[in-house]
Structure 1
Amino acid sequence: MGGLSRRGYRVIAGPPPDREPPPRVAPAVAWCLYDWANSAFPTVIATFVFSAYFTKAVAETPEQGTTLWAWATALSGLLIAVLSPTLGAIADRGRQRKPWLAGFSILTIVASGLLYFVAPDPAFALLGLALVVIANTGFEVGIVFYNALLPAVAPERWLGRISGWGWGLGYAGGLAGLVIALFLFVQADPPPFGLDPGPGALEPIRATCLLVAVWYAAFAWPLFVWVPDRAPDESGPAVRLPALAAARQGLATLWITLKALPNSDPNLLRFLIARMLYTDGLNTLFAFGGIYAAGTFGMGFDQIVLFGIAMNVAAGLGAAAFAWVDDGIGSRTTVILGLIGLTGFGIGILLVEDVTWFWILGLSMSVFFGPVQAPSRTLMARLAPPETRAEMFGLFALSGRITAFLGPLVLGWVVAVTDSQRLGMASILVFLVPGLLLMLTVRDRPAAGPA
């Protein structure tokens, strides 16, 4: 069983990491493939296609659309912040994460498909925003249980590589989804299936939401067949309770954990606060990247999709390459390097006005997306006690969502006041820079060994 050292680090009993066998192929591939499956949602719907469609074609003006999208994203962030740690604690008690992941995956798939019915008319704005809130909440809460399954497929010394490869495959999945969306729907002439491309319908653009739903369902199922629900180091029987009793116990456990964390593991607390800040900046960047490209640089739907394809190529290469760096120099250092890259190139994007420089700096910045996200997940997997893993990943999600409404809210407020998307995007630095500075105080966990 695992324990806590005096420094608050988890020490794993068993063979040293260099003697651990490699992960089993089928569970590891199935786990990574889920990243391929669900990445179509953030790339096609949340970032590049539907978000731009909403601001340019559904809302009355791009500025109004940006503000409405910001409010919807903020509301989703609040829901995620409330649900993630509570449901994570409940799942830990029952030792079942896959049923929860399945439920939230289905919720995202259905809501994504229904976005097809949001026509290019301001009368459909409320329907579109409601479905986006539902789909995004389901997506993000599901990630809590997906992340908690990582130690079930990867031994200690492989955590960084499997996590990074999953993230890289996710970028590849987002890339493939964007390519299909571009050539099958956005640029198709004539459009397939008799879709009406006229400005009053824009059905090929809307059909990309159906593509996301089918893509998600088609590639997610192997996880539910081959990935085990428990990691080898998890002990103790499952506790089956009625939903309300489990919720009460989950909330009580969460409150006890939060109160004890400053004393029991201040290093983990600093990491969670740092992640809260820089993830808020990242999520805001992802949510408004396509909107910024369309509104500030005048990029059309086809150009935005092409830019998204190029970004996913660069981001996937960065995630895969830095997976080795993660296990080599440590998750903390990898995250810091990624944040430095994001901040530096992000400042450049805010200063340029030429679309060519936007492409150059945007693609350079995207290389550092994975080196921030995947090593954060790896570090959490290494720090989390096995018996409360989903709860800890609930806190991990909470750290990325408890203030998630602030990023979009601040951006939307700045755009509403200044009527400038550029100044609104600059507010992201308010979250990235403090997150980087606090991350400098976090210690990586030493290599595990016999207790």
Structure 2
Amino acid sequence: MSANADHRSVACWCSYDWANSPFPAVVLTFVIPAYFTEAVMDNAEEATIWWAIMTGFAAFATAVLGPILGAIADQGRRRKLWLAAFTATVALCSALLWFARPDASHATMLLVIVGVSIVAFELSMVFYNALLPGLVPMHRIGRISGWAWGIGYLGGVAGLLIVLFGFVLADPPPFGLDALDGALEQIRIAGPIVAIWLFVFSLPLFVWTRDTRGRGLASAAAVRSGLACFWATLVNLRAHPQLWRYLLARMIFTDGLNTLFAFGGVFAAGTFGMSVVEVIMFGLILNVAAGLGAFVFGRIDDWIGAKRVILLGLCGLIVIGLPMLVVESKTAFVILGSILGIFFGPVQAASRSLMARITPPGAAGEMFGLYALSGKATAFVGPWFVAAITASTGSQRLGMATVLPFLAVGGLLLWRTVRDVPSCPD
């Protein structure tokens, strides 16, 4: 394959982060959670509890399915087919959010749709991440992963800008959308916008990024072989101490990251009384900061190592997260949040690059399935802690405070038990 084709393949792989990032920004963090809290439910604490239960069940389903499907994909013919199927599911669920009206009777429907979309999104990332080790050499993985995360955050910014200025603040809203009778169509349209965005901008990956083939087995044989390989990997994990120690540490600190991400919009709307518009503006600031952090630290990753980047990011999240939980001023909360975002992107990008570096050749799908497992095996614990503490104390602040121990313990385990993987110079 020519160098130009290789560059195009990598560029189109990175573009998928641009394609799918409006989904977590709009559907999982800022617009839909704020809409659920402010318009669908009548009580912020109750909204927090139900959102936590939903994300917990979605995390459990991902933990069960991710490594199994990843192992099956390693034995089959195509990873991109799996990626396409889950991408289509995310797009469909996003479009269906249009039908979730601002009424408590629609709360269950909204929670089910979002829950299914979370599972599909996380499973799509198993196969997307598994393409990376076969696309670039080891010494470029850090910067490519960082660039992709950075491009993704910019995609989240673009999606939020379109939703905010193209629809939520438009007067009158386009396409005859009704914003006057309480239907809030100018907000509900956010789901279909995400669906269209994902469909259009994911096409370059499916057209031009080369697939990384598995063993080439037929479907039934791939399932049998994949399940056997998955079980063998679990049994033999003790032979790969670097791998299982890293996955254990990541399991803990990612639980904190995912909980922080999932409840950002709910916390802003409930504790600080932010409107949907204010939450979207807050999301824009966070995504810009996270994108810049991912771009800058992507290069640093290849220089000082992914482990150090992760540890720096976790320290930053803890140091900034503490005052965010106690400030009373909305302005102070937004300023601290913008600083916190700088550290959020690098942790995610460096986590992926470190995993890619320690993944054995030919097992990317299986390993990134375990990577998904490490991110979701206990991911229901964080949201359910938030739900339990919020319900027992009536305080969102105390509920969100449970995030910090996950970040601290996971970072400590990473620091003490995992060796960094050096990269070769350019």
Equivalence for 2:210: 228
The structural deviation recorded for 1:447 is: 3.9
Taking the aligned partners of 1:194 and 1:23, their CA distance within structure 2 comes to 44
Stretches of structure 1 lacking an aligned partner (at least 5 in a row) = 1-20
Equivalence for 1:259: 235
Equivalence for 2:225: 249
After superposition, the C-alpha distances for 1:198-236 in whole angstroms (9 at most, x for unaligned) are: 363111010011110111111001001111112xxx8x8
Contact 1:28 1:154 in 2 (8 A): yes
Contact 2:305 2:422 in 1 (8 A): no
Letter in 2 for 1:306: M
Name the stretch that deviates more: 150-159 or 298-307: 150-159
Letter in 1 for 2:132: L
Distance 1:165 1:145, change over 3 A: same
Matched, 1:410 2:392: no
The structural deviation recorded for 1:193 is: 1.1
Correspondence list, 1:44-443, <5 A: 44-198=26-180, 200-230=182-212, 237-242=215-220, 245-262=221-238, 264-441=239-416, 442-443=418-419
Equivalence for 1:445: 421
3-state SS, counterpart of residue 102 of structure 1: helix
Taking the aligned partners of 2:386 and 2:89, their CA distance within structure 1 comes to 28
3-state SS, counterpart of residue 298 of structure 1: coil
After superposition, the C-alpha distances for 1:380-411 in whole angstroms (9 at most, x for unaligned) are: 11111121110000000000000011111110
Letter in 1 for 2:362: E
3-state SS, counterpart of residue 42 of structure 2: coil
- The alignment covers a number of residue pairs equal to 422
After superposition, the C-alpha distances for 1:267-308 in whole angstroms (9 at most, x for unaligned) are: 211110110011111111111001111111111111111111
After superposition, the C-alpha distances for 1:343-395 in whole angstroms (9 at most, x for unaligned) are: 11111101211111101111101001111011110111111112111000000
Contact 1:23 1:155 in 2 (8 A): no
* TM-score, normalised relative to structure 2: 0.96
Contact 1:22 1:158 in 2 (8 A): no
Distance 1:296 1:215, change over 3 A: same
Contact 1:311 1:363 in 2 (8 A): yes
Letter in 1 for 2:74: D
Taking the aligned partners of 1:307 and 1:445, their CA distance within structure 2 comes to 36
Identity of matched residues, %: 53
Taking the aligned partners of 2:5 and 2:60, their CA distance within structure 1 comes to 36
Taking the aligned partners of 2:179 and 2:164, their CA distance within structure 1 comes to 14
The structural deviation recorded for 1:247 is: 3.2
3-state SS, counterpart of residue 108 of structure 2: helix
Contact 2:70 2:126 in 1 (8 A): yes
Letter in 1 for 2:311: I
Letter in 2 for 1:257: T
Taking the aligned partners of 2:6 and 2:316, their CA distance within structure 1 comes to 34
Taking the aligned partners of 1:265 and 1:95, their CA distance within structure 2 comes to 27
Distance 1:22 1:440, change over 3 A: farther
Taking the aligned partners of 1:238 and 1:213, their CA distance within structure 2 comes to 31
Aligned-residue Cα RMSD (Å) equals 1.5
Contact 1:113 1:213 in 2 (8 A): yes
3-state SS, counterpart of residue 325 of structure 2: helix
Contact 2:77 2:218 in 1 (8 A): no
The structural deviation recorded for 1:250 is: 2.2
3-state SS, counterpart of residue 328 of structure 2: coil
Stretches of structure 2 lacking an aligned partner (at least 5 in a row) = none
3-state SS, counterpart of residue 83 of structure 2: helix
